[in-house]
Amino acid sequence: MAGVAKLFDGHILDKSNRNVDLNHEKYQGKVIGLYFSAHWCPPCRGFTPILVDFYNKYGSEKNLEIIFISSDNDEESFNEYYQEMPWLTLDFKEREKKNELDEKFQIDGIPTLILLDGNSGNILCKDARQEIQFNDKQGDRFPWTSSSETTKKSSRSCICC
């Protein structure tokens, strides 16, 4: 897991606000979804329940873990929004790390869901949102490697951030 763990320098929290070690054996072999989203973004608010449903139904079977990376403007909004999510998060206070990830993954709109190979950190799918919401709702082709994903950007993204 060193690949994804290195990206975060230990700043990942679980639902109980405890630090998570992504090098732990329970994360070995996982597909890691980086979910860039914000409470104030209407398309995000529409997609989050769809992603929660997908995660709850298929996350264990598909060996998927998700990390929420917030574009919220304040911690109160972040906390309110994160309550709706059953997965991990980048500590909201880590704004510099969030900006690094935005740049590294060329995030130019939200919501964006990128899938990574947890062990190597390599990108598997740059637009998993499109797959979950429109193309492959049951995840039959998961993890949607670049050969199966649509290359066209979704026009449904909020690019105001």
Domain range list for the chain: 2-135
Q: Distance between CA atoms of 21 and 73, rounded to whole angstroms?
A: 26
Q: How confident is the model at residue 146 (pLDDT cuts 50, 70, 90)?
A: low
Fold for the domain defined by 2-135: Glutaredoxin (3.40.30)
**How many Cα atoms within 13 Å fall on the side-chain side of residue 113?**
25
Structure confidence at residue 148 (pLDDT): 43
State the maximum Cα–Cα separation within the chain, in Å, rounded to a whole number.
Answer: 39
Whether pTM > 0.75 for this model: the answer is yes
State the chain's mean pLDDT as an integer: 90
pLDDT in tens, 66-115: 999 999 999 999 999 999 999 999 999 999 999 999 999 999 999 999 99
Q: Does residue 150 carry a pLDDT above 50? A: no
Cis peptide leading into 43, omega within 30 of 0? no
